[in-house]
Amino acid sequence: MIELYGVTKTFGSTVAVNDLSIVVQPGRVTGFLGPNGAGKSTTMRLIMGLNHPTSGTILVNHRRLGESPAPLCEIGAVLDARAMQPNRTARQHMQILAVTHGIPAARVDELLAVTGLAEVAHMRIGSYSLGMSQRLAIATALLGDPQVLIFDEPINGLDPEGVAWVRALLRQQAGAGKTVLVSSHLMSEMEHTADQLLIVGRGRLLADIGMADFIAGASGVACRLTSPDAPAIVAAFAGPGVQAVPLHPDTIELRGVDVKQVAERAARSGWIIYQLAPVEVSLEDAYLQLTAGAVDYVSGGTTVSAGYAANGPAWRPSAPAQTYQAPPAWQQPDTYAPPPPPPDGSNPTGGPR
Partner 1 sequence: MTTAPWHTDPTGFSDAAAPAQTLFDASAVSRPWRLSFGGLLVAEWRKLATMTSTWVLLGLGVVLGLFTTGAGASTLTAMNQTFSGPAAPMTPPIGRVSMALVGGPIYPGLMMALLGVLAITNEYSSGMIRATLAAAPSRWPALAAKAVIVTGFSFVSTVVAEFIGALIAWGTLGNGVRFDLFTPDGLQVWFGSSLDVTLLALMGLSVGVLVRGTAGAVVTQLLGLMLALPVLILMIAGLAASSGQDVSNGMLTLVMHCPTVAAVFVYLGPIVGRDTLASVSELPSATSAVLTMLAWTAVLLAGAFAVFRRRDV
Interface residues with partner 1 (CB under 8 A) are: 45, 48-52, 65-77, 79-80, 82-88, 92-93, 95-97, 99-103, 107, 110-111, 113-116, 118-119, 135, 140, 142, 144-147, 161-162, 164-165, 168-169, 171-173, 176-178, 352-353
Q: Residue 148 or residue 304: which is nearer to partner 1 going by CB?
A: 148
Q: Residue 40 or residue 178: which is nearer to partner 1 going by CB?
A: 178
Q: Is 27 left (phi over 0), alpha (psi -120 to 50) or beta?
A: left
Q: How far is the CB of 11 from partner 1 (least distance, A)?
A: 9
Q: Residue 8 or residue 68: which is nearer to partner 1 going by CB?
A: 68
Q: How far is the CB of 270 from partner 1 (least distance, A)?
A: 59
Query: Can you tell me the distance from the alpha carbon of 275 to that of 197, in angstroms, rounded to the nearest whole number?
Result: 35
Q: Strands across the sheet with 55-60, in order?
A: 14-24, 2-11, 55-60
Q: How far is the CB of 198 from partner 1 (least distance, A)?
A: 22
Q: How far is the CB of 165 from partner 1 (least distance, A)?
A: 5
Instruction: Give the 3-state DSSP-derived string for 178-222, with helices as H, strands as E and coil as C.
Output: CEEEEEECCHHHHHCCCCEEEEEECCEEEEEEEHHHHHHHHCCCE
DSSP state, residue 272: -
Decide: 26 and 179 in contact? Cβ < 8 Å: yes
Q: Residue 144 or residue 312: which is nearer to partner 1 going by CB?
A: 144
Q: How far is the CB of 79 from partner 1 (least distance, A)?
A: 7
Q: Strands across the sheet with 275-278, in order?
A: 243-248, 251-255, 222-226, 275-278
Q: Residue 115 or residue 289: which is nearer to partner 1 going by CB?
A: 115
Query: Can you tell me the distance from the alpha carbon of 326 to that of 292, in angstroms, rounded to the nearest whole number?
Result: 13
Q: What is the DSSP string of 103-155?
A: --HHHHHHHHHHTT-GGGTTSBGGG--HHHHHHHHHHHHTTT--SEEEEESTT
- Phi, psi for residue 270 in degrees, rounded to 5: 75, 25
Q: How far is the CB of 220 from partner 1 (least distance, A)?
A: 34
Q: Residue 192 or residue 268: which is nearer to partner 1 going by CB?
A: 192
Q: How far is the CB of 64 from partner 1 (least distance, A)?
A: 8
Decide: 83 and 136 in contact? Cβ < 8 Å: no
Using alpha carbons, list the distances in angstroms from residue 310 to 14, 18, 244: 19, 21, 14
Q: How far is the CB of 48 from partner 1 (least distance, A)?
A: 6
Q: How far is the CB of 341 from partner 1 (least distance, A)?
A: 22
Q: Residue 164 or residue 216: which is nearer to partner 1 going by CB?
A: 164
Q: Residue 137 or residue 290: which is nearer to partner 1 going by CB?
A: 137
Decide: 143 and 107 in contact? Cβ < 8 Å: yes
Which of 188, 215, 195, 199 shows the shortest CA–CA distance to 290? 199
Decide: 4 and 198 in contact? Cβ < 8 Å: no
Q: Residue 341 or residue 352: which is nearer to partner 1 going by CB?
A: 352
